Amino acid sequence: MGLEIMDDVRKDFVRNMLSEGDREDGRGFREYREISLKRDIMNKAEGSACVKLGDTEVLVGAKLEVGSPFPDSPTEGVLITNAELVPLASPEFESGPPNEKSIQLARVVDRGIRGSGVIDLGKLCIEEGEKVWILFLDIHVLDNNGNLVDAAALGAIAALQNIRVPNEKYGLTGEETLQVHDTPVAVTMVEIDGTIVVDPTCNEENAATNRLTVISNADGSLSGLQKTGSYGMKEETIVEMVELGIEKAGEIREKFLNVPS
Amino acid sequence: MGLEIMDDVRKDFVRNMLSEGDREDGRGFREYREISLKRDIMNKAEGSACVKLGDTEVLVGAKLEVGSPFPDSPTEGVLITNAELVPLASPEFESGPPNEKSIQLARVVDRGIRGSGVIDLGKLCIEEGEKVWILFLDIHVLDNNGNLVDAAALGAIAALQNIRVPNEKYGLTGEETLQVHDTPVAVTMVEIDGTIVVDPTCNEENAATNRLTVISNADGSLSGLQKTGSYGMKEETIVEMVELGIEKAGEIREKFLNVPS
Amino acid sequence: MGLEIMDDVRKDFVRNMLSEGDREDGRGFREYREISLKRDIMNKAEGSACVKLGDTEVLVGAKLEVGSPFPDSPTEGVLITNAELVPLASPEFESGPPNEKSIQLARVVDRGIRGSGVIDLGKLCIEEGEKVWILFLDIHVLDNNGNLVDAAALGAIAALQNIRVPNEKYGLTGEETLQVHDTPVAVTMVEIDGTIVVDPTCNEENAATNRLTVISNADGSLSGLQKTGSYGMKEETIVEMVELGIEKAGEIREKFLNVPS
Amino acid sequence: MKKEGEIEFIKDGKRVDGRSFDELRNIKIDVGVLKRADGSCYFELGNNKVLAAVYGPREMHPRHAQDAKMAVVKFRYNMAPFSVDDRKRPGPDRRSVEISKVSREALDPVILREYYPKAAIEVYVEILQSDAGTRTAGINAASVALADAGVPMRDLVSSVAVGKVGGEIVLDLNAVEDNYGEADMPIAMIARRNTITALQMDGNLTKDEFEKGLKLAMKACQQIYELQRTALIGRYNKGESAKLKDSGT
Amino acid sequence: MKKEGEIEFIKDGKRVDGRSFDELRNIKIDVGVLKRADGSCYFELGNNKVLAAVYGPREMHPRHAQDAKMAVVKFRYNMAPFSVDDRKRPGPDRRSVEISKVSREALDPVILREYYPKAAIEVYVEILQSDAGTRTAGINAASVALADAGVPMRDLVSSVAVGKVGGEIVLDLNAVEDNYGEADMPIAMIARRNTITALQMDGNLTKDEFEKGLKLAMKACQQIYELQRTALIGRYNKGESAKLKDSGT
Amino acid sequence: MKKEGEIEFIKDGKRVDGRSFDELRNIKIDVGVLKRADGSCYFELGNNKVLAAVYGPREMHPRHAQDAKMAVVKFRYNMAPFSVDDRKRPGPDRRSVEISKVSREALDPVILREYYPKAAIEVYVEILQSDAGTRTAGINAASVALADAGVPMRDLVSSVAVGKVGGEIVLDLNAVEDNYGEADMPIAMIARRNTITALQMDGNLTKDEFEKGLKLAMKACQQIYELQRTALIGRYNKGESAKLKDSGT
């Protein structure tokens, strides 16, 4: 009960600050927290990245294993995106099987990757109908201070960019790297009392009436949208967020993903 | 607590009416509610039927997939009968894995089908030891107003009667229909204060001391029996119910299952 | 609450007796309860044994099935040790999936067997990379009056000693028995207020500050150790227990496992 | 989203099933079709057959999940095993868990949850036959079932998907369009207030296509709203409002 | 139920194991074989080896499953992994869930559950070796274990199966008869009251065969009842009633 | 434990990675690396990368698992799916359940659990990269994280493994030594008190080897203790003790 009151206090705090033009950490409304991206940091993973958005920290590891294709797509590899909200990362997370939050996180990141054709699954076929690469993308949240989606999506692309295909382990020959065809970037915004802010903290997420994640590609097109939360949104707000999302994605892509390949 | 009292009130209501020769819906003791049977109504299922017993409504869908035989019966297809008591169908049903009620429902229907050799599982063999048809019979309860077993068993036979074998989907040739060798019909009766009534409603099931399901075939033989409930029964009552069950099964079979094939 | 008080009463009872040089059942500190071992008692198991340590009773059954090897050890059979603490055996056991107690029990027994090379897994290979024997060792606890590990470990070796390989069932030819290369024996001791006693009862386990299981082989070497409990131990105590464990193991081996093979 | 170069999605300004770009599939709505549920609705959208039932407000279990300020809405989207081409294993999978969450959040804004603190309002959607668009059909059905149950609501929620096939933005994708098209965007809205309560998109759309699709979907939701309203009025004109729901409970 | 034309089930009026049609397999009953359980029974029926334990009446968990008017009986039928030809994966499967329900309902009628409102009486049956008829052996063992635990009962329950093999109605099917016979019908009854508390049948029987089988089973239950009673009397004559059950608890 | 005859474990008195018999791998300790946790520690041991977080003391759920006399310590050892050569399926397996139990019992003796009756102290260890010795790294990390969280403790716990490879007793096995060596013996101890709180062994050791290994491990725990202490002092000298832990909670 005391905890619920603290929830309300924090929500009011965030709202009052915003009404005076401030955010709890002093950022501008359309400003991200400091982003840090480290690549290829886990030597057991075929690809990996660690992303920090301020105090939010997410680790993404990619593993490649040889397995069977789905019967209805015998010439394609398989991409499986999974997210674990381990209790280490937040007092609100609990041990147990994936829940609706972790499932949604994984699926939104997954759709962003599929929607923009980041990976050519046909290239992951080893032997039609028999053997394909199974590409596991595991999102491991270490510290949840808000906006896990953007951190996870950024980490996912960065991890894919540094994959080394373990051909040797399976006695195969083939390309060593995985071609990454696009660089979708997720930008999440919340609406709080009519104000739009990007890259929300936990407190801002809790105080928000709405949240929208906009995933966009290098050419400015969209490869994913996901509205979250139990409130309605106006068309104009959505359109404004989509524009803003595409703009911020461009900035992040420029700085972190346009690696010489 | 209030709910438990309502339970008792309803039980007494049913008992009092019966003691005066009446049922809550005005039926005779040995009278079924109006039966409605619709066949082949679900185009994604290889066979289907919807059965209504008064306000009780059960959907049965049959799916055929190619799979492996059990090691100890390499020349036989596999029949898997499953029942879902989805929470949509009753305030008492809960989400979750199958419980003892849904398992018993599925198993009683399944035994009725096996006991009378309705399906020749040998005919479901495609390639000995390698490939057989897996026949899934899924009982999906939509509205539980009592006597699910009889509705499900009737729907199961009707669904089997209209199966189209999906040979083409698997690049196979073979017979298009499945021969149905018998038409077992389940008839459920309850004993309430010594009175036997057929096709019980929920209220009657709750007020009953005993319930017996009698499954019988076209030739009048039995292919399944199942007593339910925490009370003892006299031999005479059981024998009377078996006779009555065979008689009612004949009426239902005549009206609903003797389709020209 | 009342139960917790009874717990304390029993602990104090055990402690008080020990301080006067007595155990609740009159044994010496380094004395086992009467051990009974029956072999080959279950005709559906390929090997079996029933062990009683006083009122503790454990059944171990070995089953052999043909299956696939692990990809990283294509020339080896598979040993799977499993323990079920079924609720029949103790008021404290509950139905459900394996918990930390049953998992620890199985793993300690398993490590003892592996550590001393009791079974040559290479001999369980039928066809490299394709077919191997899967050896299931199932520990089924019937009555828990303390010291399950020693009873289970003794039963496991005895069950392995009387395995008949079911070649015929799988259309194979090969040796009929399984060579058992060593006879590891588990000896469990507890420390209660500085006193070391072997083969603890439930009450002694509950009153103990520490428990150590020492598994040793025919040549006096160690093949497993496991400390249990939320208290620290002194080096001297551990060394003393290890010596005592090896000594008692020798006595048990001599009496029960040195069968003419 | 698979590419299938050989399908000619658009021919003479018509789609594979003969519809124009902004045309809904046939919709059929039956209200109050179940006896045990407090409210129910059968909804057909083309070949989709969907059933929704509502129970409550009633006591919330488990207690620690109660909300002291308002009712908790539970939403369970479930596919019957025989509703799809390859039999669906019973029980929730990741897709149905996500759809349940999105659908619940689509309906939450119209339910006067604060009237029933600590209570549960349970919404169950069963997909009996699936042909693309089941989540939108489920939200439409659930919205009507909530009204049928007498749950106090600000308004109805209506839902539809738009997408891109053969380079065109079209309304209400069918199965072929969904499987082989370029984008799919389901939305839900409170039609009379132009308020969007659910929005998802996967595939690929330019910003202009997105805006065009959003407008198309919003317009179609108005149509669906009228059908939902008509069905509810029909239901009560039949005088069935006096149905006895408690028998057998 | 598989047909196996080549087995000669009946030869010279005897069955494959030499029994006559109405003959039980060997039965062995040991009472009070477990120390920790409040009551226990080891039951052999031919090659079946079954152990039953009873705990309670004790507090019912979880609380919401308590019955304010009477004790709830929990019954768990479980097969040891090595009790069957092919190793049984630990944990309940559909068959054991159904058998547990039927067995609980077979025993409920004799337990004076109303003496212990809100309590649980827990019955655990472990099948150590299986050879057809385990559910009947389990009910018989459980009935004796309940008495051994001092649970107040109206009477004992006895159980046996009858079936049809080689065209004949026979008592207490063995494994070959069960696997390849034409019908199997397990029943349980309160022998002294001629009251049937469990009845199942699968396979195929005419009405006359059913009636003949029912009578055969009822008669055999009388025999089993006498064996159960004798075992219980033997137990108490040994003066073991004073066993200390609480040590180690 | 597999035998691998072809590996030359010891050459010129050095091990495969150039270490001497009694040499630890490189250790790196960072304290307070997580914002949301009440205490945290990042621990590297050679190629092992391990993160520990502590929450609590806080309310224990479920209530029936509360201990009226003292706090309950929950310990969850978990491997990230990408921490090992072949992807680890998420969720606890038998190995991690046992390690969690042993690790909890290794830490229990130093936590002043009686200060917080009915409470839970939760310790979460994530293995991010695994290279033999993860359980000892996890205990070391958890011990520091508990101190960082301000949980009242009698002392720190330090942990290391010893083993036998190529016939020699060596300290802190690496992955090759662990996979193909002859024995592995992880221990945990309260270094300043010479009190052993965890001890496991698998493989094969003579009694003398065991005693030699135990002494070797105990000495190494003293070294690790100093590193843990230094890391904690470093943490507080930076004045980070004033970190605001409640933001965002």
* Concatenated DSSP letters of D180-212: HSSEEEEEEEEGGGTEEEEEEEEEEE-HHHHHH
Cβ pairs C/F, distance under 8 A: 100
CA distance A210 to chain D (A): 9
Among chain B residues, the shortest Cα distance to E64 is held by B1
D241 — pLDDT class (breaks 50, 70, 90): very low
Of B99, B106, B222, the CB nearest to E205: B222
Backbone phi, psi, residue C207, to 5°: -85, -15
Containing A59, the helix (H) or strand (E) segment is strand A56-67
- Alpha helix (H) ranges present in chain A? 2-19, 100-115, 148-161, 202-207, 235-252
Do D196 and A224 count as a contact with CB atoms less than 8 A apart?
Answer: no
Strand D39-45 to strand C185-192: parallel, antiparallel, or no bridges (unpaired)?
unpaired
The residue that leads in pLDDT, C258 or B183, is B183
- How far is B79 from B62, CA to CA, in rounded Å? 10
User: Which subunits have 3 or more CB–CB pairs within 8 Å of chain C?
Assistant: E, F
Of D36, D49, D82, the CB nearest to B145: D36
E–B touching, 3+ CB–CB pairs within 8 Å: yes
Beta strand segments in C85-231, E:
125-127, 131-143, 185-192, 195-198, 210-216, 222-228
Q: Assign residue D82 a region (left: φ > 0; alpha: ψ between -120 and 50; beta: otherwise).
A: alpha
pLDDT of residue C28: 96
> How large is the average pLDDT for residues B228-247?
97
**Pair of tokens at residue A26:** 């002093």
- How far is E139 from E125, CA to CA, in rounded Å? 8
Which residues, including other chains, have CB under 8 Å from residue F134's CB and lie 6 or more apart? F48, F50, F77, F79, F127
Q: Look at residue E246 and give its three-state secondary structure.
A: coil
User: Which subunits have 3 or more CB–CB pairs within 8 Å of chain A?
Assistant: D, F
Whether residue B186 has pLDDT greater than 60? yes
Instruction: State pLDDT tens for residues B129-143.
Output: 999 999 999 999 999
Residues of C with CB below 8 A from E51's CB?
Answer: 88, 142
The model carries a pTM of 0.95
Of F104, F196, F200, the CB nearest to C235: F196
Residues of E with CB below 8 A from C152's CB?
Answer: none
The residue that leads in pLDDT, E65 or A233, is A233
pLDDT of residue D238: 67
Residues of F with CB below 8 A from A136's CB?
Answer: 81-82, 87
Q: Look at residue D146 and give its three-state secondary structure.
A: helix
Q: Assign residue F100 a region (left: φ > 0; alpha: ψ between -120 and 50; beta: otherwise).
A: alpha
The winner for highest mean pLDDT among A1-15, D235-249, E26-40 is E26-40
- CA-based nearest residue to F139, from F173, F104, F90, F182: F104
**Pair of tokens at residue E124:** 């655990």
pLDDT of residue A258: 84
Query: Are the CB atoms for A18 and A192 separated by under 8 Å?
Result: yes
Of D108, D190, D207, the CB nearest to A230: D108
Do F84 and A44 count as a contact with CB atoms less than 8 A apart?
Answer: yes
Instruction: State pLDDT tens for residues D120-153.
Output: 999 999 999 999 999 999 999 999 999 999 999 9
Of A114, A238, A243, the CB nearest to D196: A238
Instruction: State pLDDT tens for residues D165-215.
Output: 999 999 999 999 999 999 999 999 999 999 999 999 999 999 999 999 999
Residues of A with CB below 8 A from D190's CB?
Answer: 232
Query: Are the CB atoms for E108 and E41 separated by under 8 Å?
Result: no
Please give chain C's pLDDT, 261 residues, in tens: 345 677 888 999 999 999 999 999 999 999 999 999 999 999 999 999 999 999 999 999 999 999 999 988 999 999 999 999 999 999 999 999 999 999 999 999 999 999 888 999 999 999 999 999 999 999 999 999 999 999 999 999 999 999 999 999 999 998 899 999 999 999 999 999 999 999 999 999 999 999 999 999 999 999 999 999 999 999 999 999 999 999 999 999 999 998 654
> How large is the average pLDDT for residues E34-56?
98
The angle, 0 to 180 degrees and rounded to 10, between the axes of the packed helices B100-115 and E94-107 is 100
Which residues, including other chains, have CB under 8 Å from residue D128's CB and lie 6 or more apart? B42, B59, B140, D49, D50, D51, D80, D83
> How large is the average pLDDT for residues A167-188?
94
- Alpha helix (H) ranges present in chain E? 94-107, 134-148, 175-180, 207-237
Among chain F residues, the shortest Cα distance to C242 is held by F207
pLDDT of residue D244: 36
E242 — pLDDT class (breaks 50, 70, 90): very low
pLDDT of residue A133: 97
Q: Look at residue C226 and give its three-state secondary structure.
A: strand
Among chain C residues, the shortest Cα distance to E126 is held by C88
D62 — pLDDT class (breaks 50, 70, 90): confident
DSSP F173-194: --HHHHHHSSEEEEEEEEGGGT
A197 — pLDDT class (breaks 50, 70, 90): very high
Residues of F with CB below 8 A from A82's CB?
Answer: 81, 90
Other C-beta atoms within 10 Å of B130: how many? 11
User: Which subunits have 3 or more CB–CB pairs within 8 Å of chain B?
Assistant: D, E
Which residues, including other chains, have CB under 8 Å from residue D37's CB and lie 6 or more apart? B88, B143, D53, D54, D55, D124, D145, D149
Backbone phi, psi, residue E84, to 5°: -130, 170
CATH class of D23-237: alpha beta
pLDDT of residue B240: 98
Mean pLDDT, all residues of chain B: 95
Residues of D with CB below 8 A from B62's CB?
Answer: 82
Amino acid at B120: D
Of A65, A142, A146, the CB nearest to F51: A142
The angle, 0 to 180 degrees and rounded to 10, between the axes of the packed helices C100-115 and F94-107 is 100
Do D87 and B65 count as a contact with CB atoms less than 8 A apart?
Answer: yes
Mean pLDDT, all residues of chain A: 95
Residue spans of the domains in chain E: they are: 23-237
Whether residue D51 has pLDDT greater than 70? yes
Chain centroid to CA F8: 28
ipTM beyond 0.90? yes
Terminal-residue alpha carbon distance, chain D:
45
DSSP C34-92: PEEEEES--TTSSEEEEEEETTEEEEEEEEEEEEPPPTT-TT--EEEEEEE--GGG-TT
pLDDT of residue C260: 54
Cis peptide bond upstream of F62, omega within 30: yes
Amino acid at F9: F
* Helix, strand, coil content of chain F in percent (nearest 5): 35, 30, 35
Give me the percent of chain F exceeding a pLDDT of 70.
93
CA distance C197 to chain E (A): 16
Residue ranges of chain E whose CB lies within 8 Å of a chain C CB:
34-37, 47, 49, 51-53, 55, 58, 76, 78, 80-87, 90-91, 122, 124-126, 128-130, 247-249
Q: Look at residue D69 and give its three-state secondary structure.
A: coil
Containing E187, the helix (H) or strand (E) segment is strand E183-190
Q: What are the structural domains of chain A? A: 25-257 (3.30.230.70)
Do A91 and F55 count as a contact with CB atoms less than 8 A apart?
Answer: yes
The angle, 0 to 180 degrees and rounded to 10, between the axes of the packed helices D207-237 and D134-148 is 30
pLDDT of residue D1: 41
What DSSP designation does F63 have? G
Mean pLDDT, all residues of chain E: 93
Chain centroid to CA F112: 19
Whether residue F149 has pLDDT greater than 80? yes
CA distance C27 to chain F (A): 27
Of B107, B223, B232, the CB nearest to E204: B223
Amino acid at A57: E
Do D68 and A4 count as a contact with CB atoms less than 8 A apart?
Answer: yes
Residue E13 buriedness (CB in 10 A; 0-12 / 13-18 / 19+): exposed
